[in-house]
Structure 1
């Protein structure tokens, strides 16, 4: 049986995607080769500072958003958030992160790094964790290089994927797929060739139920529903 394909859209700077990572890890552990996750980025924080300052203007601006993020984080024991999140450091755009991470993904696709080591997933988590726990400006290229070096990734090879335009092409593909599936929320999980989706802060059991339904009732089989 072919694995269930899940398209997972997220923004590196999104608190809900940071919270939801543990659910993805649990899915991979429990379903292993029964699912295949295709990772994509959606630009929720593509123009982060201006967007937050405008949307939170009447609620305290970046300070108000910082308080909101910290209140959200208090509800989840498995994550930590720096008390000065989005105040001392407010990255201007997640697009720089997404471009760099796609360059790492290309290294896996080309076999420059071993795909089984899942360096793209590790790098994505490292970016999220560095921002939310250490206030690292992960949009800054030097910070990105530092994280890559800590993961023992080849910096020159990553930069080559960016310089060649190939990483840009993957990011553009994300934009096209997000538009095709009208993805406007981070995170968003899409199943069954776009016929099923889960948006935002969805609990693990709800995600699991959708997968089990697809495993037990493949989409190409007739249904009485």
Structure 2
């Protein structure tokens, strides 16, 4: 069976990645094991204390950004958005959440390798979605370690194992690899789908039918000397 690898780069504080989760779910439901989805992180909100006041300086700063996000969310009724987003809660960075999630991903892979976890364990996806919902829907500061631990532990994550991977530096190294790979692939922002060994990139608010068409074309498996028509 042909398998298409899709690298998916996102920032946990990006509303478009929050909205795009429905498309991730649709990819899994439509293609199953025919698609290998590799979720990675890129840094868009690495320093929100600089990014938002600077980017939105002439548009109301945090209040303007809040109004923009509420306007966006109204177009996508499948997601909930707290009316006070970025007003009462302002995570200073997405990096701490990315680091925690990278440790969760390592823990999941180690358990699978040791035969103590399901081959297609959804725990990483579940925790990442819990983080996104906690911020966008519930207006919680997911940059805080105590919030991260609370959300992950409720889903069955071994917090001590996560802390070990953070303290010994392995989670930092893996996250650095994600960020470096995003730079190497010239990822423009979040979310970004990368297919066909980097030849095809779909960035931003891309509809599922476009993603589906690209995957279907790659599953057609053209000969090595024939370019994909995507």
Q: Which residue of 1 aligns with 2:117?
A: 114
Task: Provide closer, same or farther for how the CA distance between residues 64 and 175 of structure 1 changes in structure 2, counting only shifts above 3 A.
Answer: same
Distance 2:85 2:8 in 1: 25
1:46-98 per-position Cα deviation (integer Å, ceiling 9, x unaligned): 00121001110110001100110010000001001000001100100000000
Gaps of 5+ in 1: none
SS of the residue 1:111 aligns to: helix
Task: Provide closer, same or farther for how the CA distance between residues 82 and 221 of structure 1 changes in structure 2, counting only shifts above 3 A.
Answer: same
How much has 1:186 moved relative to structure 2? Answer: 0.2
Task: Provide closer, same or farther for how the CA distance between residues 219 and 172 of structure 1 changes in structure 2, counting only shifts above 3 A.
Answer: farther
SS of the residue 2:224 aligns to: coil
How much has 1:221 moved relative to structure 2? Answer: 5.0
TM-score normalised by structure 2 residue count: 0.94
Q: Which residue of 2 aligns with 1:63?
A: 63
User: How is 1:5-44 mapped onto 2 (pairs within 5 angstroms)?
Assistant: 5-44=5-44
Following TM superposition, the consecutive aligned residue runs of length 4 or more in structure 1 with deviations greater than 6 angstroms are none
Gaps of 5+ in 2: none
Q: Which residue of 1 aligns with 2:208?
A: 204
1:159 is the counterpart of 2:163 = yes
Distance 2:144 2:7 in 1: 27
Aligned length: 225
**Kept after mapping to 1: 8 A contact 2:218/2:228:** no
Distance 1:151 1:214 in 2: 35
